[in-house]
Amino acid sequence: MAQKLAAGNWKMNGTEASLAEIDAMIAAFPAPGCKVLICPPATLLERLSRRAGNGPIATGSQDCHMKASGAHTGDISAEMIKDAGGSYAIVGHSERRTDHGETDAIVCAKAEAALAGGLIAVVCIGETEAQRDAGETLDLIGTQLAGSIPEGVTGDTLVVAYEPVWAIGTGRIPTIEQITEVHDFIRTRLIERFGAEVGAAVSLLYGGSVKPSNATEIFAVENVDGALVGGASLKASDFGAIIDALQKA
């Protein structure tokens, strides 16, 4: 069985003052019935990790370079992430794919680097609105799965996050039927490639305008094991409501 995971991606948001939200989350969920992850901007990763300590909240990075070290200005390696207290790395987010031209091959190399550095890789996939309208969603998802996920993963080292690009930050979400179709497809492909034991153990997250008002309905979908949450993860009250919905799912 895949583990439930509520993951927050703070993106390019947050300063020292934002860490008070972590204190509120820890106070509200001293022993949550699911895994909780926060991926802050790199400037806050060490401070947030120290704040979280050995408590219920894990921390991670929003990216991970494919190389262990070197002349890569502005980038962060798996070793650096782990040294700062992180245990996860998001790779292949649509904003990285779009803003920085990251291909499936680059995403796969970053996932490999994360795994080699002892991190859990959160691999993001998802279609654009044009691809959805053209009926290309499953073909695109299949291609991204095949090209972005390295060999040798397990349910303990890989998380897959489906985030339709057209739903991120827009307030729009796919229908429950559309989410079900894509998540069932992902699960089937993972089982076909890695075997039933591994394929069934990988946590599948839905992302894209997840908020307290729709979380319960989304988490009721069979192959949705949690969420990758953007804006709603910045406030303990909102993210806490999503965590609570996941615990009850």
DSSP 157: T
The one catalytic residue in 95, 112, 127, 163 is: 163
The one catalytic residue in 65, 93, 112, 183 is: 93
Q: By CB neighbour count within 10 A (0-12 exposed, 13-18 middle, 19+ buried), where does 243 fall?
A: buried
DSSP 232: G
Identify whether 163 is a catalytic site residue.
yes
Q: Which of 228, 230, 227 is nearest to 245 (CA)?
A: 227
DSSP-assigned letters across all residues of 166-202 = GGTTTS----HHHHHHHHHHHHHHHHHHH-HHHHHHS
Q: Buried b / exposed e across 152-191, counting CB within 10 Å, b at 16+? A: ebebebbbbbbbbbbbbeeeebbeeeebbbbbebbbebbe
Phi, psi of 226 (to 5 degrees): 160, -160
Maximum Cα–Cα distance for the chain, whole Å? 47
Q: At what angle do helices 176-194 and 137-148 cross, to 10 degrees?
A: 40
Identify whether 100 is a catalytic site residue.
no
Partners of 249 in the β-ladder: none
DSSP 29: -
Residues labelled as active-site residues: 93, 163
